[in-house]
Amino acid sequence: MSKILVIHGPNLNLLGSREKDIYGATTLAEINNKLKSIAEKNNVVLETLQSNHEGEIVDAIGKVKQNQIDAILINPAAYTHTSIAIRDAIAAVNVPTIEVHLSNIYAREEFRHTSLIAPVSYGQISGFGVSSYILGLEATINLLKK
Ligand code: DQA
């Protein structure tokens, strides 16, 4: 069975109460449950991690080969725009990585327009709320079936 690691970056633990007008009212637990049910239906194993710490995310990416992860689905949150370390980790492990964002980062403040992660990602989905995660997972599953 294929295994996908879902990584949620900083402050996404606050979903449900955080800037609801931008990120919606769905909690992270609800998102993970939805993703897990889609994964189950497709016979895919899902591991999830939320971290507010860059190093913890870098460590998790660095262990994907050891943990037999076939693909990564990541919302790097604010680290999207700042983290060379996460970008380098993704480049280092060479496992297909799909980047997702709840909000449309290109329609927001200018500092959000640059993703350091996009150039090392297979693709990016941005702006569809919780559907960004669902579309991202479906795309990842389709990719693994190829
Ligand atoms: C985000 C967009 C980022 O710019 C922001 O820092 C986040 C969430 C999104 O999902 O829309 O924390 O990644």
The pTM of this model reads 0.98
- Ligand 1 atom 6 nearest Cα: 78
Q: How far is CA 108 from CA 52, 78, 102, 113, 126, in A?
A: 22, 13, 12, 7, 11
Ligand 1 atom at minimum distance from 104 CA:
11
Q: What is the C-alpha end-to-end distance of the chain, expressed in Å?
A: 14
Q: What is the pLDDT of residues 4-32, one digit of tens each?
A: 999 999 999 999 999 999 999 999 999 99
Contact present, 114 and 48 (Cβ < 8 Å): no
CA of 1 to the centre of ligand 1 (A): 30
Q: Please give the structure tokens belonging to residue 21.
A: 């007008």
DSSP code per residue over 8-69: E-TTGGGTTTSSHHHH-S--HHHHHHHHHHHHHHTTEEEEEEE-S-HHHHHHHHHTTTTTT-
Options 3.40.50.9100, 3.40.50.720, 3.20.20.70, 3.30.230.70; which CATH number does 2-145 get? 3.40.50.9100
Distance of alpha carbon 48 from alpha carbon 51, whole angstroms: 10
- Ligand 1 atom 12 nearest Cα: 77
Q: What is the pLDDT of residues 130-141, one digit of tens each?
A: 999 999 999 999
Q: What pLDDT score does 146 carry?
A: 86
